A and B are shown apart, each in its own frame.
Chain A
Amino acid sequence: MSLTCGQSIQQGLLQAMMTDPRVHLLGEDLRDPYGGAFKMTKGLSTRFPERVHNTPISEATLAGLGIGMALRGLRPVVEIMFGDFITLIADQLINNAGKFAWMYNDQVSVPLVVRTPMGGRRGYGATHSQCLEKLYLGVPGLLVIAPSYLHDPGALLCQTILAGKGPVLFIEHKGDYGRRVAAPEAGMIGCWHLRRGGTFCPTLSLSATAFRDDQLTVVTYGGMVPVVLEALERLLLEEEVTAEIVIPSLLAPLDPQPLQASLKRTGRLLVAEEGTLTAGWGAEVVATLLSAGSGGGGAVPVARVAARDLPIGSAPTLENRILPGVADVVAAALALTRN
């Protein structure tokens, strides 16, 4: 049995700390016996008592601490307990971390990783359920990485920490923590053929027809992947609609190449994300693909699935209506293919 995504993250942090003594963890309630709000650092302070730092509830300063440590040669990994709280670190990431290397003429680097869990469907309400990573897309100098359960999240995290390319905003999804990492067997994940592009942050592509006969391209990432897969398996079985699914793990800056290649094959584009619709990641994906002139230019039918532009309601009935679900992806794909 494979690890859950949460266990994978725990292993990734452990591996990074064992490999590089410069790796320090900072965050709220990380140390044992608590081990972090989602237990991602459980055991690490017992093993590395000098390198796991519990902080007060001071997110802005927490991010700044990481920047200062990174400037002085360490490899800090900052945990922001809930992704919703990244609003509090905006100045540090945008005006300090992202700018320093370029603004100071490449005389410094900021190998900082800020990791945080996003995502809803757990009834936590408006301030503990969001996917806010879109706020940090297009910040010069800042990488935004978001693995899905099809990537190995812990391996990607470990690699990201050790590569020291930072600053990186590393987006995890609460819903994935208990989900098992899907390991490909003989190039397949279930009924899906798998292709892997890129080395540092892989983009995965899935196709039930071995990339030969798909009617649309669905671009998605992170915690939205299981929703999309369930929808597309239903479409395949019930409607005979076939799709390629393209899943980048590097959200920004976007590598359009695997997306363009897929769109060229299918000619239809659906982008699905859990964050709110307006000015979302999907808007950037669509603009990038259409302006690159790939896949037939303006004639490409396009649809987007995303959360409604509302705060996330607390009642499950409200949350389900506000967040994009399987039925939304099915409906959008059907509308595109019958177009």
Chain B
Amino acid sequence: MSEQELPRLYEQMVLIRGFERMLEDLFRRNLLFGTTHSCAGQEAAAVGLMAALAPGDLVTGHHRSHGHYLARTDDVTGLLAEIMGRQGGVVGGRGGSQHLCGGGFISNGIQGSMVPVATGMALAEKIAGSGRIVVCCIGDGTLGQGVVYESLNIAALWSLPLLIVVENNQYAMSSPVARTVAGSMTARAQAFGVEAAEITSNDVVQLLTQARDVVAQVRQACRPFFWVIHTYRQAGHSKSDDCCYRTRAEETRWGLQDPLLLAGSQLDPPLKETIDQRCARRLQESLAAAQGMPMAEAL
């Protein structure tokens, strides 16, 4: 069933990749300020996960959440305008890349700080009996933060509908995961009695299939779940990062597992071409729209 959805999933991934590439280009042309954290290489995790959610489910994100937001809301113009500091941005230019709120999605830029917030949201949904679940997206680096474990403990004790998704993109800034995470990621959650699973994949269909199982389990059992997706951050940590701490050979190896490559190679070339062009056109239209908006001024 997930296979039939491949064109739509591929299109979302192309859109996200194109979005991140467009930001790089805008930076090069001095048309952006600040910084950005590209999720290029991790699109399948975001797209597979979001495709498994129900419309009312809630998602929390972090500094590297363009993909999460776009996969959840499809709001290209709103996100671009936000990053460009425009009044028409998702939060009127007040938040920027890391601080988004809309369409049941909310992100903030402090590592791990949204985990307790997501846990509280899950408690509220349980109290309301809404049947909604809360998905809390974090990365391998955030596993160093203590509040993650405080929250796991409470989510387990109170049996909350909370899905914590760890995208292990292999690096916390420049630090490889082997230098920052001791032991097993899943065993950490299991120690709290929280069920956990892990998958090494950039295959969006495979990820969607597992995401559906995990999401259904959280919703039906009203129990927390800890899901680790091992993937790869193709870009540097942020725009100023030249990746001097890793080898080109490693990048090439993971490049063979590029999620767009994996999905695109399964599509008929004309269909793939049509999708690629449609995404490129949408991005250009969004750029023109965002550029036409006034800069944020209102305090």
Contacts and interface: CB of A to CB of B under 8 A. Distances in A.
B122 A68 contact: yes
A55 B94 CA distance: 34
Interface stretch (A88-96, A146-154, A328-336): A88-96
For the residues of B in contact with A, the DSSP-based class is: helix
B180 interface: no
B121 interface: yes
Interface residues of B, number: 36
A61 B150 contact: yes
A27 to B, nearest CB: 13
Interface in B111-166: 113-125, 127-128, 134, 146-147, 150-151, 153-154, 157-158
Contacts of B95: 103-105
Given A60-B146, A107-B91, A74 B113 contact: no
Contacts of B119: 61, 64-65, 68
A63 B150 CA distance: 12
A64 B151 contact: yes
B94 A69 contact: no
A95 B110 contact: yes
A241 interface: no
12 contacts: A50-B127, A55-B154, A63-B116, A66-B120, A67-B116, A68-B121, A69-B120, A91-B110, A96-B108, A96-B117, A103-B94, A105-B90
A95 B113 contact: yes
A209 interface: no
B99 interface: yes
Contacts of A53: 123, 158
Given A72-B125, A74-B127, A91-B110, A104 B94 contact: yes
A135 interface: no
Contacts of B147: 58, 60-61, 64
Given A53-B158, A64-B120, A69-B121, 17 more contacts: A56-B150, A58-B147, A60-B116, A61-B150, A63-B116, A64-B114, A64-B119, A65-B116, A67-B116, A68-B119, A74-B127, A76-B120, A91-B113, A92-B117, A104-B91, A105-B91, A108-B106
A102 interface: yes
Interface of A: 24, 50, 53, 55-56, 58, 60-74, 76, 91-92, 95-96, 99-100, 102-105, 107-108
Given A60-B146, A69-B124, A92 B113 contact: yes
A12 to B, nearest CB: 22
B92 interface: yes
B101 interface: yes
B102 interface: yes
Contacts of B127: 24, 50, 74
Point out which of B92, B109, B113, B116 has the most chain A C-beta atoms below 10 A from its C-beta: B116
